[in-house]
Amino acid sequence: MQRPFTYLQPSGYRAMAAVVDGLKGCESKLSSFEGGTFSWKFVEQLPPPDLFSSLTNIAFDFEVHELDPDSDFYVPDPGIPECRALMARGGLRDFLAGLPCLESLSISFVLNADTMDIDYPARLEDIIKAGHHWPRLRSLSLGDIEVKTQELIDTLTLHQDTLRRLELHDIRLSTSWLTFLPNVSELLELDEASIWGDIYGARQFALGLVWVEHWDMGEPHLWPDDSFRTDLGAYLANGGTCPLNHNNQGRRLSPGYDPFSLGLGNLF
C-alpha cells in the first residue's frame, strides 16, 4: 500500500499541470500565480514561459527537504547539493526572464537546518539573469539564497525607476551589510522595505569568503512589532542612520519580548 502523503511528492507538479491544462487553448490570460510551497524538483518541469507571458505577479517557495519514507516526517535538506546543481542550470532564471509583464516577484527556499552550517540551495544568479530588466517591476522578495553584492546592486539599479518594495530574508551576502544597506538606501526610493531572518555578511580572505557578520532579525509573523527590524525598514525607505552595527550582531529577540508568552520558551 502506498504510504500517506508520499504520492504528493514532489509537490507542485499537479497544481502546475492543472494550471497549464487550463491555459492551453484558452483566450483568458493569467495575471497572478502564487504557487505556495513547491518541491525544488519542480523546476525541472517548468512549462514554457509563453503560457504565462501576461503574469504580473509570481511567488514560489521551494522546499528543500523531503519526507523520510520510514517515518513520514521531514528530514532536513538532503537535496541541497542537487538543488544547487539544478538551479545553476538556469531553468528558473530563463522562465522568469520570459515573463515581461512582472510587477511583483517573490522567490524563496524553505530550509530545515541551521543555515550557518550548510550551503544555500541557490544563488541570485540562478534566479535573475545578469542584466535582465522587467520594465514594470515594483516589488522584489528574495529569501534563503547566496548573493554576490554587486550582482544585487546591479539588479536594483536596473529597476530603480519602478521598484518600490524590497524584501530580503535569510540572505548570505558576499560583502558587509554595513556597506550594502547604505547603498540601497541611497539608490532606491522605496515605499516599503523588510529585512528579516538570519542575515550573514562576508569578508574575502586568501582561502575564500568567511562569514564574519550575523544578525538574527527575527520573523515578522512571530514578532510583528519588532522595533529593530522596523527601524531598519524605515532606514531603507527614508534614510537616516542605519540601526545595524557590529555591536548588535547576533541578537535573538528584541528587548521586552518574553518567549514564554509566545509559547516558544522551550526553544531557548
In this structure, the answer to whether residues 129 and 181 fall within a common structural domain is no
Q: pLDDT, tens digit, for every residue of 147-202?
A: 999 999 999 999 999 999 999 999 999 999 999 999 999 999 999 999 999 999 98
Question: Which residue would you say has higher pLDDT here, 166 or 220?
Answer: 166
Average pLDDT over residues 13-41: 63
In terms of domains, do 120 and 81 share one?
yes
Whether residues 131 and 233 share a domain: the answer is no
Q: What is the pLDDT of residue 33?
A: 62
34 and 106 share a domain? yes
**Burial group, residue 146, by CB count within 10 angstroms (0-12, 13-18, 19+):** buried
Across the chain, what does the average pLDDT equal? 80
- Per the model's pLDDT, the better-predicted residue between 72 and 136 turns out to be 136
**pLDDT tens digit string along 128-146?**
999 999 999 999 999 999 9
The grid coordinates listed for 29 are: 490570460
In a domain, 24, yes or no: yes
Please give the residue range of the domain that contains residue 9.
1-152
- Report the distance separating Cα 171 and Cα 115, nearest Å: 10
Same domain, 143 and 252: no
Kindly give, in sequence order, each residue whose CB lies less than 8 Å from that of residue 118, ignoring residues fewer than 6 positions away: 77, 80, 111
